[in-house]
Amino acid sequence: MFRIWKYSNKQYVTMRFVDETVIHVKAGNGGHGCIAFLREKFRPQGGPCGGDGGKGGDIIFVSDDQMSTLQDLPKNHHYKAGRGEHGKGKNCHGKNGTNLIIKIPTGTIVRDSKTKYIIHDFKKNGDEFTIAKGGNGGFGNARFKTKNNVAPKIANDGSFGQELTLDLELKVLADVGLV
């Protein structure tokens, strides 16, 4: 991030090095199960055919040696993964939500803002860690069919994805050279 200021008709540009930031992440919710029935002649009430909902997307952090600062993260303080799609009739399951991959510099420590607990320390290049897991999809009414209940009229809702507020801190190593 650059800061431009004027002093006696001259412009000076200063660059800010960001080594700490706070972000909010939200994993995707799971899709709801579907209640649907087939319309066939010899099935009681048509028979259940409701599909399951899709799984919500995860938030994944990946360390990268090419990045040297957390400067790109303060532009967007809120990150949200994709939601799972709802189930459909004819036993069609919903699509899973898309995972959100966030690149951070190697040497970053991720802490929970409330408890100050260290969740993960990224020490190597390419290190992946799932910070927030997406919610599971709900079951459709085809899953609840039994010998006694051949036409269930119930389905599950999808579960919620994890939601966290995180403190990111970059460990800075100063390289000092003697002349």
Burial of residue 164 (CB within 10 Å: 0-12, 13-18, 19+) is: middle
Over 78-146, what HEC string results? EEECCCCCCCECCCECCCCCCCEEEEEECCEEEEECCCCCEEEECCCCCCEEEEECCCCCCCCHHHHCC
The whole-angstrom separation of Cα 82 and Cα 78 is 13
Q: Which pLDDT tens digit goes with each residue over 78-134?
A: 999 999 999 999 999 999 999 999 999 998 999 999 999 999 999 999 999 999 999
Structure pTM?
0.80
The whole-angstrom separation of Cα 26 and Cα 83 is 10
Q: Which pLDDT tens digit goes with each residue over 24-72?
A: 999 999 999 999 988 877 766 678 899 999 999 999 999 998 888 888 7
